[in-house]
Structures are given as structure tokens and as C-alpha cells.
Amino acid sequence: MRKLSCRTEATHETQIVIGRGLKDQLYEMDDFFGSYRNLVVVTDKNVGKHYMGLIKKQLKSFGGTVYGVVIEPGELSKNLATVEKIYYDLSEYGITRADAIVAVGGGVVGDIAGFCAATYLRGIDYFQIPTSLLAQVDSSVGDKTGVDLEVGKNLVGAFYPAKAVIVDPSFLETLDDHFLMDGMAEVIKYGCISSSKLFVRLMGYQYQEDLLEDMEDIVTKCLQIKRNVVEEDERESGVRRILNFGHTIGHVIETYFGFGTYTHGEAVAIGMYNITRMSVREGITPEEDLENLGVILDTYGLPSKLPEMDMEKVNQLLGNDKKFEGDILNVCVMPKIGTAEIVRVHKDKAIQLFM
């Protein structure tokens, strides 16, 4: 088992443990779960089908009651209606600040359950057990919780650290290939912005089995990068913006076509490629790095081509981007593979990112 910790404020330290098989060792994690009265496992139908029984059984060994809340899977659930439903469940179970939530699932479950934990009774403790690759390398660490509004992704939320994040790559065995590749978009992102070594390593996999075999190592590398960035800048006023590589364009694509048409990873892949196309045009990135980015996205079955979009609607959606500071949009570019830089784009020129 590998251990990391992420300290964002003096009072907040999230323990991160990573290891194959940890999902069967929860009953040994007295340090994490032993002090709570009751626990509430929040998951979605797909994940619950495989793991709810296993997890509840182990958490019961700490002596309290273990409740289960199962939501519909997918981004369409990540809204205030689901949050409200969970609040009522928590109230029905008589949950107090002596209890904790355990989020078991992908980024959708983690973001919603984390937001419920941040806001129910003005904050109760919670744990993340991420089960998708995207959640394991990205969304489960870094304190961001929240939900979507129809007009934009993640517009309502809170920075709220989990007590601990338990990452077990063996969960990925039941994850659909499509979602595995989707998570690879974020893994590739870490290579792009921070580690050319990781990028080259990812270029080298020919078989998915070899990739899965190395996943504990790869996930650890990604989380180290994320942890380092988040510790320096939890609230995204500086270096954390590099984690948004590909996301400015990506979020517009996700919203434009309606949540669920393009998955997060697919939209981010298109975003990374096209922001780099722009930075090649501007003389920031050499052409060769764009070619390599195209090759790696293709290897993992991820798209790179911008879909046809109406520019007026794109402009409108861009206006909702949380990365705007007044008229300036902060956009992450990759000067060369393994490095990142923030460039400031005036709102009148932001539309050029889509050309």
C-alpha cells in the first residue's frame, strides 16, 4: 500500500491510500472508520450492483449501522434534485455530525456525495472510495465537490476535503472499457502538463492488460502530481489552473451537446488537442508535440477533432466559464510535453480557441 497525504489548510489533511485489493481490507481501517456512530454509503446503481454488499459488510464490523443510498448513474444525476433526495435520506436515517458519508463510485457519485457532506448540517465528514479511473486519478483528490446546473457544469459546489481517499485499482476490472479510456484522457493530461516520462510510458503500452497491470503505479504518479498542485493552490488562483488543461474547450463541448453526449474524458481530449493546435499556431508549442498528442489520443481511442458548433452559442457558453477573471480567460497551454503555462486570453478573442 502506498500512502500520500494532501494538506490544504492547517486544519485539513486528507489521507490518501493506494493499493490493489484495498477494497477487501476496509474492515482493517479502524483509523478511518472506527470513530463514527453510523455510516452512509452513497453509490450509483452500476457500482452498487458489484460492491454495495462487500463494502457494507465490512463497514458494519465497526459496530454502527451502515445505510445505503443508491442514485441513478451518469452525469444527468449530478444535479440539485439528486442532492435534495440524498438530504431527505440522511434526515430519515437520523444522520448527525457524529456520522460520516462514504462515497463509492465514479466522479459523479464523489462530487454529489461530497457536496452533500459539505452542506448537510453545515458539514459532516466523508470518505472517497473512487471506482472509475477518472475518479481515482482526479476527482477524488483536491477538495472540489459540486453539481451541475442546466446552464453549465459544476456551477454549484464547495471546497470540502475528504477525511481519506481509498484508491484500489482492482475496481477497474468491472469498469466498462469505454470509461477506462475516458479516464485515460486525464492520465494523459498529467503526462502533458507535468511528466514527459509518464507521457512516453503511456505511448509504449500495446495491450490493455499491461496497462492495467501497471495501474497502481500510474495512479500513484497522477495523484502525486495532483496532490502537489492542490497543496500549493487549493482554490485555483494560480498553479491549480494547469489541471484545467483541455477543460475550457472540453466543458463547452459537454454543455453544448448536453451532458452525456460526449463524456468528460472525450471532451477533455478534444480540448487538449485543440488548445495545443492553437498554441502551435501562436508559436508556443512545436508541431511535433501536437503530432505526438494526436497519436496518443488515437492509441487510447479518444477523439481529437472539434465537432461542428454554432459559434454564437459557443461564445455564450464560454461566458459561463469559471476561469474568467473579469474580461480575461486563463487558459492552460503545453509549451512542450511535460510542461504547462497559463496564458491570458481576452474575452473577445476566446472564441478563436474553437477555430
Under the rule (CB under 6 A), what is the footprint of ligand NAD?
A: 44, 46-47, 50, 73-75, 78, 105-109, 111, 131-132, 134-135, 138-139, 142, 144, 153-154, 171, 174-175, 179, 182, 264
| Catalytic-role residue among 251, 254, 274, 323 | 251
| Catalytic-role residue among 75, 186, 234, 254 | 186
125-130 and 164-167 beta bridge pairing? parallel
- String of b and e for 186-204 (b: at least 16 CB within 10 Å)? bbbbbbbbbbeebbebbee
| Comparison of 158 and 284: residue with beta carbon closer to ligand NAD | 158
186 has catalytic annotation = yes
Shortest distance, position 178 Cβ to ligand NAD, whole Å:
9
> Is 78 in contact with 112 (CB distance < 8 Å)?
yes
| Comparison of 125 and 138: residue with beta carbon closer to ligand NAD | 138
| Catalytic-role residue among 23, 56, 226, 227 | 226
Shortest distance, position 263 Cβ to ligand NAD, whole Å:
6
The answer to whether the Cα torsion of 230, 224, 170, 132 is positive or negative is positive
50 has catalytic annotation = no
Shortest distance, position 105 Cβ to ligand NAD, whole Å:
6
| Comparison of 182 and 321: residue with beta carbon closer to ligand NAD | 182
251 has catalytic annotation = yes
49 has catalytic annotation = no
Helix or strand holding residue 169 (H, E): none
Nearest residue by C-beta to ligand NAD?
Answer: 107
- From CA 136, how far away is CA 267, in angstroms rounded? 18
189 has catalytic annotation = no
Q: Computed over its alpha carbons, how large is the radius of gyration of the chain?
A: 20
- From CA 285, how far away is CA 290, in angstroms rounded? 8
328-333 and 324-325 beta bridge pairing? antiparallel
292 has catalytic annotation = no
Task: List active site positions.
Answer: 122, 144, 186, 226, 236, 240, 244, 247, 251, 264
